Amino acid sequence: MKKFKKIIIDSGTTEEMSHFQQITLEYVSKFSKFSEKQTLEIIKMLSENYNIEHVFAVNVVNIDPQTVPELKTIFEKSSEGKNFDLDKLQEILYKISEIKSK
């Protein structure tokens, strides 16, 4: 999301944006929780270390779950993630927290 925001702002076209583009920029500004580097690192960690499908890894970044039940909800349709026990989910939250603190 931050990458999208940067592209819009760097293009200098914020005055010329359509209503839909303005709403999208507002959404991105409010809900982007990670830097681009953190986003890519979290997605890579989830994909490589836990075999989480890309769509679910992106959802984790977008939602930024803080608790095991929140993370479990995101993974409930993931072929790999739905089988994680509570310890594995807590481990993932801890690794995300480590990436956020960098």
Residue ranges of the domains in the chain?
A: 2-31, 36-100
What is the pLDDT of the chain when averaged over all its residues? 85
Q: Rounded distance, CA 18 to CA 42, Å?
A: 32
Q: Encode pLDDT of 39-50 as tens digits.
A: 999 999 999 999
Q: If we measure between CA atoms, which residue out of 88, 42, 45, 47 comes closest to residue 61?
A: 42
Can you tell me the mean pLDDT for 54-81? 95
Predicted confidence at residue 35, as pLDDT, reads: 82
Q: Encode pLDDT of 3-32 as tens digits.
A: 655 655 565 555 666 777 777 767 666 666
Residue 63's CB is within 10 A of a number of other CB atoms, namely: 14
Can you tell me the mean pLDDT for 47-61? 95
For the whole model, what pTM was predicted? Answer: 0.73
